[in-house]
Amino acid sequence: MRVLAALSGGVDSAVAAARAVDAGHDVVGVHMALSRNRDQFRTGSRGCCSIEDAGDARRAADVLGIPYYVWDLSERFESTVVADFLAEYEAGRTPNPCVRCNEHIKFEALLDKAVALGFDAVCTGHYARVEERADGTRALHRARDLAKDQSYVLAVMGPRRLARALFPLGDVASKDETRAEAAARGLSVSAKPDSYDICFVADGDTQGFLRERLGSRPGEVVDAAGTVVGEHDGAYAFTVGQRRGLHLGRPAPDGRPRYVLAIEPVANRVVVGTADELAVDVVAADRAVWFEEVGPSVRCQVQVRAHGSALPALARVRDERVEVELDAPLRGVAPGQSLVLYDGTRVLGQATVTAARRAGVPA
């Protein structure tokens, strides 16, 4: 099978490509250049897509003895992932850029181009498992190492693209095992720190990035009763559930911490309240992508954060819309987040959160 291995310059993608070679596939490595203004070096362990990363990817390909190319997808990345990130925050929602990158770049732009060039599949270093059924259909499952599981950010890809995806690290017991394998293979990235945070915000200052792109937009911070308790420089810089950085001029009457309850982009207001007011047990979502056939209602587990827990729930499904009733309240659910439905380790589907409320409260 002809396989295009996405080489980010990190240890995971290098070992995944090595395993694809060991499996007997005809492997070609490609590094995606996603930033139009790449720093020469990464800032600590933040970010990715730097010139340093491209060099590390090339050295890994040399060790593996596979052809290596760099594909410039920076314009596509800017017009989809970065533009969506800015538009979602500006609209008062909380996006997950890793989900959008998997949707628009790795399993759309990259995979579509690979297929057009005659490749059968794309191989990445994501931690997730693919199980093939007797009828040839495939199911997406959590990785063996639940601490590294990335099925949450992959769920947006859908079954058609899953059919052409390889995740060789899905059965790895731990990241330490991946690093040990890289060292044994002579891959220089074996001890390279993981990247984290948002790849196109290399210094980790998300609010600064938003302010630079969207400008200063002063407004009010109010409590649930509408009383002004502070000011902000841009409602787009806040997210539901946020506690730090509110800079409130008036303490709460009970002295307890306050959290962001809602962002009102039209009024340019941020609404704050108590932790108890954050709790919701009904979550609505749309733009659903399904891996499995589900009935009008299904018992499942749902996850709304990449590193969050999956909670038992009842999901009611209507085409591309889903409404989830959680067995127990959850705090800090924000519009724009990805909602992933699981049956044990198996991914059922994914949708984007549009609203969250307490049961009995009108939508």
The predicted pLDDT at position 136 comes to 84
Instruction: Output Rg (C-alpha) for the chain, integer angstroms.
Output: 22
Question: Which residues touch 329 (CB under 8 Å, ≥6 apart)?
Answer: 279, 280, 281, 358
pLDDT category of residue 41 using cuts at 50, 70 and 90: very low
249: pLDDT strictly greater than 90: no
40: pLDDT strictly greater than 50: no
181: pLDDT strictly greater than 90: yes
Report the distance separating Cα 334 and Cα 239, nearest Å: 7
48: pLDDT strictly greater than 70: no
User: In CATH, which of 3.20.20.20, 3.40.50.20, 1.20.1440.130, 3.40.50.620 is domain 2-191?
Assistant: 3.40.50.620
Mean pLDDT of 272-293: 94
| Cβ neighbours of 292 (radius 10 Å) | 15
For residues 254, 260, 261, 262, the Cα torsion angle rounded to the nearest 10 degrees is: 140
299: pLDDT strictly greater than 60: yes
42: pLDDT strictly greater than 60: no
Nearest partner of 195 among 39, 19, 22, 29, judged by Cα? 39
38: pLDDT strictly greater than 60: no
pLDDT above 70 covers a percentage of the chain that reads: 93
The CA-based angle 228-250-89, given to 5 degrees, is: 55
pLDDT category of residue 198 using cuts at 50, 70 and 90: confident
The predicted pLDDT at position 248 comes to 85
Amino acid at 346: R
- Which CATH number applies to 216-273? 2.30.30
Residues annotated as catalytic are 101, 199
**Domain positions in the chain:** 2-191, 216-273, 278-357
The CATH architecture annotation of domain 278-357 reads Beta Barrel (2.40)
pLDDT category of residue 45 using cuts at 50, 70 and 90: very low
| Cβ neighbours of 161 (radius 10 Å) | 20
Q: Convert the pLDDT of each residue in 141-165 to its tens digit.
A: 999 999 999 999 999 999 999 999 9
| Polymer length in residues for the chain | 363
115: pLDDT strictly greater than 50: yes
In this structure, are strands 68-72 and 311-318 parallel, antiparallel, or unpaired? unpaired
Q: Convert the pLDDT of each residue in 81-95 to its tens digit.
A: 999 999 999 999 999
* pTM score: 0.91
The predicted pLDDT at position 242 comes to 92
Alpha-carbon distances, residue 95 vs 7, 136, 182, 236, 332 (angstroms): 25, 34, 33, 11, 14
